[in-house]
Amino acid sequence: MIIIMGDFNTKLGNKGYLQPVAGPYTIHDSSNENGNVLIKFAIRNRLIVKSRMLHINLGTWRIPGSNEVNQIDHVLATSRHSSLVIDGGSCRGPNCDSDHYLVNIKVRERTANVQKTPRRKARRWDVVKLQKDTAQRNK
Protein backbone atom coordinates (compact mmCIF):
# COMPACT_ATOMS: atom_id res chain seq x y z
CA MET A 1 0.00 0.00 0.00
CA ILE A 2 1.33 3.41 -0.94
CA ILE A 3 0.29 6.49 1.02
CA ILE A 4 1.50 9.95 0.03
CA MET A 5 0.85 12.83 2.43
CA GLY A 6 2.02 16.36 2.03
CA ASP A 7 1.60 20.06 1.56
CA PHE A 8 0.99 20.14 -2.18
CA ASN A 9 -0.38 23.73 -2.21
CA THR A 10 -3.25 22.45 -4.32
CA LYS A 11 -6.81 23.58 -4.42
CA LEU A 12 -9.11 20.94 -5.86
CA GLY A 13 -12.45 22.24 -7.10
CA ASN A 14 -15.85 20.61 -7.01
CA LYS A 15 -16.09 19.70 -10.69
CA GLY A 16 -17.93 16.46 -11.46
CA TYR A 17 -15.04 14.85 -13.34
CA LEU A 18 -12.84 15.11 -10.22
CA GLN A 19 -15.15 13.10 -7.95
CA PRO A 20 -13.98 9.57 -8.93
CA VAL A 21 -10.38 10.51 -8.11
CA ALA A 22 -10.78 13.24 -5.51
CA GLY A 23 -14.12 12.65 -3.81
CA PRO A 24 -17.08 14.95 -3.35
CA TYR A 25 -16.09 17.17 -0.42
CA THR A 26 -14.17 20.40 -0.89
CA ILE A 27 -14.20 23.99 0.22
CA HIS A 28 -13.02 25.34 -3.17
CA ASP A 29 -15.07 26.08 -6.27
CA SER A 30 -12.26 25.70 -8.79
CA SER A 31 -8.85 24.04 -8.98
CA ASN A 32 -5.57 25.88 -9.24
CA GLU A 33 -2.66 24.82 -11.51
CA ASN A 34 -1.12 22.65 -8.77
CA GLY A 35 -4.49 20.97 -8.33
CA ASN A 36 -4.60 20.01 -12.00
CA VAL A 37 -1.06 18.60 -11.77
CA LEU A 38 -1.99 16.60 -8.65
CA ILE A 39 -5.07 15.13 -10.34
CA LYS A 40 -3.03 14.10 -13.41
CA PHE A 41 -0.42 12.54 -11.11
CA ALA A 42 -3.11 10.65 -9.20
CA ILE A 43 -4.75 9.33 -12.37
CA ARG A 44 -1.42 8.30 -13.91
CA ASN A 45 -0.34 6.41 -10.78
CA ARG A 46 -3.77 4.97 -9.85
CA LEU A 47 -4.07 7.00 -6.65
CA ILE A 48 -7.13 8.36 -4.87
CA VAL A 49 -7.14 11.67 -2.97
CA LYS A 50 -8.48 10.43 0.37
CA SER A 51 -8.37 13.76 2.21
CA ARG A 52 -11.51 14.83 0.31
CA MET A 53 -13.52 11.66 0.88
CA LEU A 54 -14.63 12.73 4.35
CA HIS A 55 -16.66 15.75 5.38
CA ILE A 56 -14.81 16.44 8.63
CA ASN A 57 -12.46 19.41 9.12
CA LEU A 58 -11.68 20.06 5.47
CA GLY A 59 -9.52 23.13 6.05
CA THR A 60 -5.83 22.31 6.45
CA TRP A 61 -4.19 25.76 6.28
CA ARG A 62 -5.23 28.95 8.04
CA ILE A 63 -4.43 32.10 6.13
CA PRO A 64 -2.18 34.16 8.43
CA GLY A 65 -3.97 37.16 9.91
CA SER A 66 -7.48 35.83 9.25
CA ASN A 67 -9.82 33.02 10.19
CA GLU A 68 -10.20 31.74 6.62
CA VAL A 69 -8.94 28.25 5.84
CA ASN A 70 -7.89 26.53 2.64
CA GLN A 71 -7.62 22.86 1.81
CA ILE A 72 -4.11 22.54 0.39
CA ASP A 73 -2.68 19.51 2.26
CA HIS A 74 -3.79 16.16 0.93
CA VAL A 75 -3.47 12.41 1.44
CA LEU A 76 -3.24 10.08 -1.56
CA ALA A 77 -3.57 6.29 -1.38
CA THR A 78 -3.44 3.58 -4.00
CA SER A 79 -6.85 2.95 -5.50
CA ARG A 80 -6.58 -0.78 -4.80
CA HIS A 81 -6.15 -0.14 -1.07
CA SER A 82 -8.13 3.09 -0.77
CA SER A 83 -10.94 1.39 1.14
CA LEU A 84 -8.48 0.70 3.96
CA VAL A 85 -8.29 4.44 4.75
CA ILE A 86 -11.32 4.68 7.00
CA ASP A 87 -11.03 8.09 8.65
CA GLY A 88 -9.11 11.31 8.28
CA GLY A 89 -9.18 15.02 8.73
CA SER A 90 -7.26 17.91 10.16
CA CYS A 91 -6.52 18.24 13.86
CA ARG A 92 -7.08 21.79 15.03
CA GLY A 93 -6.15 21.26 18.66
CA PRO A 94 -2.37 20.70 18.64
CA ASN A 95 -0.27 23.84 18.77
CA CYS A 96 2.73 23.03 16.60
CA ASP A 97 3.65 26.69 15.88
CA SER A 98 2.51 26.51 12.27
CA ASP A 99 -0.27 27.96 10.16
CA HIS A 100 -0.98 24.42 8.92
CA TYR A 101 -3.22 22.01 10.80
CA LEU A 102 -2.04 18.47 11.35
CA VAL A 103 -3.60 16.05 8.86
CA ASN A 104 -4.19 12.54 10.09
CA ILE A 105 -5.71 9.37 8.71
CA LYS A 106 -6.73 6.03 10.16
CA VAL A 107 -5.79 2.97 8.17
CA ARG A 108 -7.39 -0.41 8.74
CA GLU A 109 -4.81 -3.14 8.70
CA ARG A 110 -5.63 -6.44 7.12
CA THR A 111 -3.46 -9.47 7.48
CA ALA A 112 -3.61 -12.52 5.34
CA ASN A 113 -5.18 -15.54 7.00
CA VAL A 114 -2.76 -18.21 5.89
CA GLN A 115 -3.31 -21.61 7.39
CA LYS A 116 -0.55 -24.12 7.26
CA THR A 117 -1.83 -27.38 5.90
CA PRO A 118 -0.27 -30.49 7.33
CA ARG A 119 2.19 -32.01 4.93
CA ARG A 120 1.10 -35.33 3.62
CA LYS A 121 3.45 -38.18 3.93
CA ALA A 122 4.61 -39.30 0.51
CA ARG A 123 3.22 -42.66 -0.48
CA ARG A 124 5.92 -45.17 -1.20
CA TRP A 125 5.57 -47.64 -3.95
CA ASP A 126 5.52 -51.27 -2.86
CA VAL A 127 8.26 -52.47 -5.16
CA VAL A 128 7.85 -56.12 -4.14
CA LYS A 129 4.19 -56.11 -5.21
CA LEU A 130 5.08 -54.49 -8.50
CA GLN A 131 7.75 -57.10 -9.18
CA LYS A 132 5.27 -59.89 -8.41
CA ASP A 133 2.61 -58.34 -10.69
CA THR A 134 5.03 -57.95 -13.59
CA ALA A 135 6.32 -61.50 -13.09
CA GLN A 136 2.74 -62.87 -13.23
CA ARG A 137 1.98 -60.89 -16.39
CA ASN A 138 5.09 -62.13 -18.14
CA LYS A 139 4.14 -65.82 -17.59
Q: d(Cα 26, Cα 72) in Å, to the nearest integer?
A: 10
Burial of 79 (0-12, 13-18, 19+ CB in 10 A): middle
Domain ranges of the chain: 3-109
69 - beta bridge partners? 62
CB atoms within 10 A of CB 6: 13
Question: pLDDT tens digit string along 35-67?
Answer: 888 888 988 999 888 776 555 667 777 777 887
What is the pLDDT, as a whole number, of residue 95? Answer: 65
Task: Tell me the β-bridge partners of 100.
Answer: 61
Buried b (16+ CB within 10 A) or exposed e, 31-56: beeebeebbeebeeeebbbbbbbbee
Q: How confident is the model at residue 45, as a pLDDT?
A: 92
Check: pTM over 0.85? Answer yes or no: no
pLDDT score of 89 more than 70: no
Nearest residue to 73 via CA among 93, 83, 88: 88
- Architecture field, domain 3-109: 4-Layer Sandwich (3.60)
Instruction: Find, among 19, 75, 85, 78, the residue nearest to 51 by Cα.
Output: 75
Task: Identify which of 102, 104, 63, 105 has the alpha carbon closest to the alpha carbon of residue 86.
Answer: 105
Burial of 70 (0-12, 13-18, 19+ CB in 10 A): middle
Separation CA 33–CA 52 (nearest Å): 18
